[in-house]
Amino acid sequence: MRALLFAAAAAFEIGGCYLAWQALRLGQLWLWAPALILLGLFAWCLALTGTDSAGRIFAVYGGIYIAASVLFMVAVERVRPDMWDIAGVLICLLGAAVIYFGPRSV
């Protein structure tokens, strides 16, 4: 369930940020409404992950967001990632996994 929430959060955040970027870039103010709705859904999904630490869940989500952003780059922008993009994603996902799966002393 958490994996789906993280995936949905990433999709909503990337979609919302992309629409806001397009609104500014193209001067189309009407794009702000759907952008804000998507960003609200992003926050809602992340809040539903249910954890004892918002900071920890934000850190884990950061790795997922980076991976999703590179997928967006490939799927929507049609930009092929280079070895540094891939290496960066793997490093971030490894860091997120350490934070998520690491044993807790408290």
- Name the band, by pLDDT with cuts 50, 70 and 90, for residue 91: very high
The region of weakest confidence among 37-46, 84-93, 97-106 is: 97-106
The span from the CA of 38 to the CA of 99, in Å, is 27
**Distance between CA atoms of residues 66 and 13, nearest Å:** 11
Residue-wise pLDDT for 17-48, tens only, equals 999 999 999 999 999 999 999 999 999 999 99
**pLDDT > 80? residue 50:** no
Cα–Cα distance for residue pair 14/75, rounded to 1 Å = 13
Asked whether the CA dihedral 51, 57, 60, 61 is positive or negative, the reply is: positive
What's the rounded Cα separation, in Å, for the pair 47 and 78? 31
Q: Please, what is the average pLDDT of the chain? A: 93
| Separation of alpha carbons 101 and 27, rounded Å | 44
pLDDT at 52 over 80: no
Q: In the chain, what percentage of residues exceed pLDDT 90?
A: 82
Question: For residue 86, what pLDDT is reported?
Answer: 98
**Contact yes or no for 42/12 (Cβ under 8 A):** yes
Given a contact cutoff of 8 angstroms between Cβ atoms, the answer to whether 45 and 12 are in contact is yes
